[in-house]
Amino acid sequence: MDIYKGPHLQSGGLGGGDTLYFHKITVKVILGSEPVQFDCEAGFSRKMDRAAIGFLGRHGFFELFEEVTFYQRQKRFVLRACDELDFGDQP
Q: What is the mean pLDDT of residues 66-76?
A: 85
Domain enclosing residue 55, as ranges:
8-81
2 in a domain, yes or no?
no
Instruction: Let me know if residue 3 belongs to a domain.
Output: no
Asked if residue 87 belongs to a domain, the reply is: no
Q: How far is CA 80 from CA 1, 83, 87, in A?
A: 30, 9, 14
How many C-beta neighbours within 10 Å does residue 42 have? 20
Residues in a beta bridge with 10: 19
pTM over 0.85: no
More confident residue, 53 or 91: 53
Task: At 40, give phi and psi (nearest 5°).
Answer: -150, 165
**Amino acid at position 25, single letter:** I
In a domain, 50, yes or no: yes
Is residue 88 situated within a structural domain?
A: no
Read off the pLDDT band of 67 (50, 70, 90).
confident
Cα dihedral across residues 39, 58, 48, 54: positive or negative: negative
Domain count of the chain? 1
For residues 47-62, give the mean pLDDT. 65
